[in-house]
Structure 1
């Protein structure tokens, strides 16, 4: 049920966004003819009003009704919506999915990466965040042989490399953890509520991280410099798709550039740098350069006779 409701919410937001404004009758008719409406349902006016309120509360959007323009419903401040990465991602993902669904003859010509399970948990986690409800989680960590069950207060969710993650506070251990949704074995909403801390800022929480690892207790934020060759247009690739928001091209030469980052030197960042092979070289700090040298030597030993 939650999944179906979420799909309708996104469809309505996308319709308001792409049309620039639409009347209730036009929207209801569009839903009746939409391929997303696989149940052949309708949207009565009272139901639409309920959806409108839920959308405003869930996505922090304002929807106005412009009486001077044929009583059309519009998204307020659509420009800020374009700049919001989460909302923009949701809308773009739905728009692409809707386009593909309506072009089924191209099904065999549009290929996607397989995304691990976890979407059902995502819907319930979002519901829990909306209502500030504690969830009961059964989770299988890679670091333990058996799953564990514990209460969790969901603070935020984040997607990274085709996987969804949840940041949640464990009240039993009084600590914050990061949990991959595809490793959740069971998730139940409880009747217990929690107070979301006003001091928690999801964007700030990950600001100094690459990916999903946040380790302020173990590591300090470092200024990391890497040398990127012009071979295979690698530096052009990084200019177009920065590895991190802190990326700066601090030196530019005829055949290479130096890029600088400010972040935690975590395992997932190391893996990303290694994935670029010999086209990327870590210059400093020296201890991180040494770490990479040891990693590369370990890799080389795998191939020596």
Structure 2
């Protein structure tokens, strides 16, 4: 059993800080929404709150866009990428429904129960991701999903320690249905967004008939200077294979001689993708100039 590679888990200087802030804000959002209730009801229009939140996100995104682009290019880019804009209406609509259901469900469940039941989306996402992207989940991942499912079910069991186990009730009502719809919205929006990023519409040919979406490529080369080929190759490799494949595979199908599992067989990295990765390493200084960043 190997150690956790923190460098891969948090590759950027601010990665760990952003991760901690994300978790803290995500949890506190549920707590703050619950505290804003009065006798289990909201004294404000929750739909309007969601709308104002989305408008604020739009304003912030526009300001970030204007830091690197002129104001005149906004309408031009909207027209140029109108197909992408239309496609992203699907996940945005799902997230809109998700945010409205969050207020409804937090009025019914306490934050602890709400967040625990909401984690069932990990199970649904894992199954849908495997079906759509034809990616087999590892045994450890399936075990994690089973444990998570069991935890969600146990949390909703009604135990009475003074009665027999057969008298234990499993409560299913319309509120559970709302939680299920919320998890489906989150799952489908995330998977659909991943599908758009990996679709054939806007991609870059890396060589050897291997293509990577433009968004994924730009994320990989973001903040990578030309001399730092090691970091560039690592990020392109993650974009091509993902962390799980890289952790369980090698070029020749065996671990390094320096590894404690040197004699243990491992999966072989897909030769075509590995050849494309080598091509990127060779052409790194000139390739970045060919990719339009705007």
Q: Which has the higher helix share?
A: 2
Same fold (TM over 0.5): no
TM-score by length of 2: 0.24
Q: Which has the higher strand share?
A: 1
TM-score by length of 1: 0.24
* Higher relative contact order, structure no. (Cα contacts within 8 Å, ≥ 6 residues apart): 2
